[in-house]
Amino acid sequence: MSSQASPKLIEPLAVKAMLSDGRELALIDLREELIFSRSHLLWARSVPLSRLELRFARLVPRRDTRIVLCDDGDGLVERAAKILAGAGYTDISFLQGGIAAWEKAGHKMDGSAARVLDYSALWIHPDGSSEMLEHEILRMQSQEAVSKEAEQPPPGGLVLNLRVIKPDGSILEPEPVAGKQTLTMPHLEVGDYVEIEHITATASENAKGKIYRGPHWFFREADKGYWRSEFVVLTPKDRNVDIEIVGKVPAPKTAEKGTFVERRAIARI
């Protein structure tokens, strides 16, 4: 026997606050994929109502996850809410006024391009060697950005992802050309995303690892909007660490992880 909570209406401003509070949120666009590809909330996931029952449980396995449904004010959210409530989901909201209300409220990220993911993790070993994971997803918001980002230098180290993600979820990967120093991001257009993820290894400066000079890491660039920037550093617990912070950067949160200390700094819009 299960109880079904009544869906709630939620205003665009409240949705924006939810996107920034760090808690789990499923922002679901119920329109068909072709319509979704033309215009959608930057952080929304396309799950058309026609395929909701087939796909939703895999995408959102926890029944207490906060869910915000959005449509074009054409009744999709009401129908979807009944399906999800019947499947046991307990925290369901509608975006009041639909996509049009969000756009009218002017909720967008500034800049010719917007970093919707900006994450780096640096792991420093006792001998002074290190590995650094860098992962970014950049949304093209102008033709200027497309022109600037269409040619990418090959990332250093182990490349995990280098690709164009279309609004409908399709993936396009560049192909190296002999003698060409850059990679062309295929069919890049306004509204597309460029994802770059790679791991770079750095050798120790000396045999005993007494000295380590870390890289500079920037939380912001002037011509790009940002959703969230996160920088994580893992260092041996028995080593003193000096961190130089310049500008308005949030103080890192510190936690012990076995024989290492984790420092995690997060900046949000």
pLDDT 10s per residue in the chain (269 long)?
Answer: 344 556 788 888 888 888 777 788 999 999 888 777 666 776 788 899 999 999 899 889 999 999 999 988 888 999 999 999 999 999 999 988 887 777 677 666 667 788 878 889 999 888 888 999 999 988 888 888 899 999 999 999 999 999 999 877 789 999 989 999 999 999 999 888 999 999 999 888 776 666 777 777 776 666 676 666 888 999 999 888 877 777 777 778 899 989 999 998 877 65
Q: How would you classify the pairing of strands 224-226 and 113-124? A: parallel
Would you state the pLDDT for residue 97? 84
Question: What per-residue confidence (pLDDT) applies to 2?
Answer: 43
Q: What is the DSSP string of 137-198?
A: EEEE-SHHHHHHHSEEPPPSSEEEEEEEE-TTS-EE-----TT-SSEE-TT--TT-EEEEEE
Token pair belonging to 42:
């930057």
pLDDT score for 221: 67
Other beta carbons less than 10 A from residue 95's beta carbon:
26
Cα distance between residue 117 and residue 229, in whole Å = 7
**Domain edges within the chain:** 8-104, 113-268
Listing DSSP states for the chain in one string gives ----PPPEEE-HHHHHHHHHS-S-EEEEE-S-HHHHHHS--TT-EE--GGGHHHHHHHH---TTSEEEEE-SSSSHHHHHHHHHHHTT---EEEETTHHHHHHHTT----BSEEEEEEEEEEEE-TTS-EEEEEEEEEEE-SHHHHHHHSEEPPPSSEEEEEEEE-TTS-EE-----TT-SSEE-TT--TT-EEEEEEEEEE--SSTT-----PPP--S--TTEEESEEEEEEEEETTS-------SS-PPPEEEEETTEEEEEEEEE-
> What confidence score (pLDDT) does residue 6 get?
63
Q: How far apart, in whole angstroms, are the C-alpha atoms of residue 263 and residue 47? A: 36
Domain 8-104: state its class: alpha beta
Kindly report the CATH class assigned to 113-268: mainly beta
Q: How far apart are CA 191 and CA 141, in angstroms?
A: 6
pLDDT at 73: 83
Residues ≥6 apart with Cβ < 8 Å to 7 = 69, 77, 78, 81, 85, 92, 93, 94
Residues 6 or more apart whose CB falls under 8 angstroms from that of 58 comprise: none
